[in-house]
Homo-oligomer: A and B are copies of this chain.
Amino acid sequence: MKTFLLFLICLSNSLIGQRSHSETAVQIKNNGLEELYAFEMLKDLTGNIGNRLSGSKNYDKAVEWGKLILEKAGADSVWLEPVMIPHWVRGNEQAFLSLLDKRKIELSVCALGGSIGTAKNGVSAEVIEVKSFEEVKQLGRKAKGKIIFYNRPFDRTNWSPFQAYGGAVNQRTNGAIEAAKVGAIAVLVRSITPAMDDEPHTGAMRYADSIPQIPAVAISTVDAEMLSMELHKHNVSSVHILLSCKTYPDVASFNVIGEICGAEKPEEIVLVGGHLDSWDKGTGAHDDGSGVVQSVEVIRLIKNLKIHPKRTIRAVLFANEENGLKGGRAYAARESNKKEKHIAAIESDAGGTSPRGFGVSSDSLKVEKIKSYSSLLEIVGAEKINKGGGGADISTLESLGTTMIGLNPDPQRYFDYHHSNNDTIDKVHPRELELGAIAMAILAWAISQDGL
């Protein structure tokens, strides 16, 4: 009889526990969709601050904003975590194409992030179009003194624009290094986007220690097509590029952190996060204003229900994801010296569109555990749990044994806007944005209660 009673008690606890998760999930969903507050925060961030490049005054403003908004969301404690971040400034940028018939055509370009500037009067040279680093190597001495034009398009046939991006982005990140190796004096890089538009899409590029540094610019896809056509018609005389961008010494800044303290195991952390910095184009509404406001919204939604997680739920607004990852690295370095254990980290850095699920990088058994929450997440259409995923900022926690989880929104539109003037709030839908926040809140809540 005793055993039977014990069984009943366990069963009822288990049922209550289960019911509690799904009841909580429904309450979070209803409140979130009724209030659509993530969008209100995003309007504030993008409208009153705008874009937020590391080292800029706007990034400083965003830090203050982040602290206030986390306090307003009801976080038990909010603090700033010091981190040194890069300070690159765009300055002026222009380019034009000279045709053999003496016509000049202005090109829609912008410096890639981290590029050096040109000489004061710019650089002019013949242009050689390539699609791959193999072609650059084969150019050999022919490339000397020339501008290399990388024009390998985004693979539109891939359902996942994220995979297609991965297949094109090395032109932007490493193109200057490979071109400089064969003596080129600058690179023009086709914008890494499936959209056919007249906006250049910027993004990070790098230099290598022993290789000369040369200027690197993104060119819009429309102008890349036009330039390619003129090159094929042998109409091109030269391209002129002028950039005044410059890298200044690193500056002191912050990650912004707020948390709901765990009631039973406060030292076990479930992190939700996005990055507070953006490129200096558009207003970083999708990238990653969305992830920022969704992370804050997780705190707000849970606090507003007046429920207390067993483990700590912590929102981290990371500094400097775009051109350095200094925020993520500083956070992980500091955490590795603490007694805290990050059991899971959920990042939103793939845009604010309709959530479809999460990608999970962890041990298979833990992935299965996360998959068991699929039925909870179905109420917001975010039930698809894949093995593999995460985010750049939280990737720094891998060595601490943290289960890394990335929100997967519908990916079709993201790279149309990415790193360009088109990344603005009119491209974000209030319900879709909120649904992502709700999905993160449901998952963070479940993990905070059950452990992992």
The residues of A with any CB-CB pair to B shorter than 8 Å are 29-30, 33-34, 36, 156-159, 194, 354, 356, 379-381, 410, 412-413, 429, 431-432, 435
How many protomers of this protein does the assembly include? 2
B159 touches A381 (CB 8 A): yes
Contact of B159 with A410 in the complex, beta carbons under 8 Å? no
How far is B415's CA from A259's CA once the two chains are assembled, in angstroms? 37
Residue of B nearest to A164 (CB): B33
User: Which residues of the other chain, B, contact A33 by a CB distance below 8 angstroms?
Assistant: 156-159
Name the distance in Å between A415's Cβ and chain B's nearest Cβ: 10
- The answer to whether A157 and B356 touch (CB under 8 A), given A412-B431, A431-B412, A435-B412, is no
Shortest Cβ gap from A392 to chain B (Å)? 23
Given the interface pairs A194-B431, A356-B381, A431-B194, the reply to whether A157 lies near B410 with Cβ below 8 Å is no
Inter-chain contacts of A354 with B (CB < 8 A): 354, 410, 412
| Cα-based distance from A194 to B379 in the complex (angstroms) | 18
Instruction: For the complex, give the distance between the alpha carbons of A34 and B153 in Å.
Output: 12
> Could you say which of B30, B159, B381, B429 contacts A379, with CB atoms under 8 Å apart?
B159
Q: A33-B159, A159-B380, A354-B410 are in contact. List 18 more A-B contacts (CB 8 A).
A: A29-B157, A29-B159, A30-B157, A33-B157, A34-B156, A34-B157, A156-B431, A159-B381, A159-B435, A194-B431, A354-B354, A356-B356, A381-B410, A410-B410, A412-B429, A412-B432, A413-B429, A413-B432
Q: How far is the CA of A9 from the CA of B69 in the complex (A)?
A: 67
In chain B, what residue has the closest Cβ to A382?
B159
* Closest residue of B by beta carbon distance from A380: B159
Contacts of A429 in B (CB 8 A): 412-413
A selection of 21 A-B contacts at a CB cut-off of 8 Å is A29-B159, A33-B156, A33-B157, A33-B158, A33-B159, A34-B156, A36-B156, A159-B379, A159-B380, A194-B431, A354-B354, A354-B410, A354-B412, A356-B381, A381-B410, A412-B429, A412-B431, A412-B432, A412-B435, A413-B429, A413-B432
**A202 CB, min distance to chain B CBs, angstroms:** 23
**A272 and B156 alpha carbons, distance in the complex (Å):** 25
**Distance of A200 from chain B, by nearest CB (Å):** 21
- Residues of B near A158 (CB, < 8 A) are 33
Which residues of the partner chain B approach A159 to less than 8 Å between Cβ atoms? 29, 33, 379-381, 435
Q: Give A413 to B158 CA distance when docked, in angstroms.
A: 24
- Closest B residue, CB atoms, query A431: B412
Residues of B within 8 A of A435 (CB): 159, 412
Minimum CB–CB distance from A274 to chain B (whole Å) comes to 20
What is the bound-complex CA distance between A356 and B194, given in angstroms? 21
Cβ of A194: which chain B residues have Cβ within 8 Å of it? Answer: 431
CA separation between A438 and B305, bound complex, in Å? 43
A413 contacts across to B, CB distance below 8 A: 429, 432
Measured in the bound complex, the distance between the Cα atoms of B157 and A412 in whole Å is 25
Query: Would you give the shortest CB distance from A265 to chain B, in whole angstroms?
Result: 32
| A352 CB, min distance to chain B CBs, angstroms | 11
A381 to B161 alpha-carbon distance, docked (Å): 12
A33 to B430 Cα, complex, angstroms? 28
Report B-chain residues with C-beta under 8 Å of the C-beta of A34: 156-157
